[in-house]
């Protein structure tokens, strides 16, 4: 579901933006500007209040190569068919050095997801094949649904594209087991996305880093569970005294193709955390 595209026209009819479900956050631009980033967007869905917040609406609605964020979907399909029985399935390294030492070994899906091993996921896509992949891309309405070209590179060759807005819709459905996959499959993939497990929050995401023409496109897509504790009434049905509040997000920005002036992989996570902290979705911030 393209939240902004569907909801924004209705918002324009409401005279008081204070009462609407869509909120522009121009101030989030300061986090990108501080890093010299000129073209960026961020969208966040506060599920607890059914509200959406965004920076740079036009870019939030523009589709881009998903790059390694497609590993979320690639994993879902492979587990569902099943091409692999579970996330412990090992694929042998094909001995091709792709420029990242951590990829140069046999590994299972959970490990490959963590280090974003492109070789593993290309092998997974080849095992899946066009028919299954196209079926699930169509059924889940993933981006522009275009997987033309080689089966092991359509998500990095600019064929398949998706917007930040659509990415938020995808992870929201994943969180609530609403995608066209089994509960088990969605639960496993969610668990692989967990990056930080702290007392007051759990942060889940997948990064992506791709190229389109003369630009680099960097992504972070996921959700955070803010954990709050309450002393429940003795008659309450909730006996755990713990409440989880989910927030879903997607961010992307672009850079010139040859810009290696900063550790951009680290920068994107720092920006993510700065925005989540300012919004109040991430207590106890630890920059990393």
Residues marked as catalytic: 68
**Residue with token string 């073209």:** 39
Closest CA relative to residue 246, chosen from 228, 230, 226: 226
3-class SS of residue 246? strand
Quick one: tokens of 70? Answer: 């497609």
Phi-psi region of 147 (alpha: psi -120 to 50; beta: other; left: phi over 0): alpha
Distance, CA of 205 to CA of 114 (rounded, Å): 10
Asked whether the beta carbons of 174 and 72 are under 8 A apart, the reply is yes
Q: Residue 7 and residue 4: Cα distance in Å, rounded?
A: 5
Specify which residues 162 forms β-bridges with.
64
Query: What is the Cα Rg of the chain in Å?
Result: 19
Asked whether the bond before 110 is cis by omega within 30 degrees of 0, the reply is no
Q: Which two tokens stand for residue 63?
A: 């589709």
Task: Report the C-alpha gap between 12 and 19 in whole angstroms.
Answer: 12
Residue 189 neighbours by CB distance under 10 Å? 26
**Contacts (Cβ under 8 Å, ≥6 apart) of 10:** none
Q: How far apart are CA 285 and CA 288, in angstroms?
A: 9
């Amino acid at each position: 579901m393209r939240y902004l595209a569907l909801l924004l026209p209705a918002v324009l009819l409401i005279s008081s933006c204070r009462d609407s479900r869509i909120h522009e956050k121009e101030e989030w631009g300061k986090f990108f500007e501080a890093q010299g980033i000129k073209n960026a967007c961020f969208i966040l869905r506060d599920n607890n209040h059914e509200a959406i917040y965004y920076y740079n609406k036009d870019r939030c609605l523009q589709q881009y190569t998903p790059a390694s964020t497609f590993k979320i979907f690639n994993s879902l399909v492979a587990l569902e068919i099943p091409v692999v029985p579970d996330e412990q399935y090992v694929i042998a390294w094909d001995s091709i050095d792709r420029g990242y030492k951590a990829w140069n070994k046999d590994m299972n899906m959970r490990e490959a997801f963590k280090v974003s091993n492109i070789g593993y996921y290309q092998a997974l896509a080849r095992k899946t094949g066009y028919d299954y992949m196209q079926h699930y891309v169509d059924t889940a309405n993933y981006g522009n649904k275009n997987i033309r070209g080689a089966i092991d590179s359509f998500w990095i060759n600019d064929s398949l594209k998706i917007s930040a807005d659509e990415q938020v819709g995808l992870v929201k459905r994943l969180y609530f087991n609403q995608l066209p996959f089994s509960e088990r499959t969605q639960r496993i993939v969610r668990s692989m996305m967990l990056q930080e497990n702290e007392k007051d929050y759990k942060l889940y995401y997948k990064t992506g880093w791709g190229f389109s023409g003369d630009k680099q496109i960097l992504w972070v897509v996921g959700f955070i569970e803010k954990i709050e504790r309450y002393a429940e009434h003795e008659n309450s049905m909730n006996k755990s005294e713990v409440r989880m509040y989910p927030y879903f997000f997607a961010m992307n920005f672009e850079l010139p193709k040859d810009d290696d002036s900063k550790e951009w992989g680290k920068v994107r996570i720092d920006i993510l955390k700065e925005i989540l902290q300012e919004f109040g979705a991430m207590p106890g911030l630890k920059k990393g």
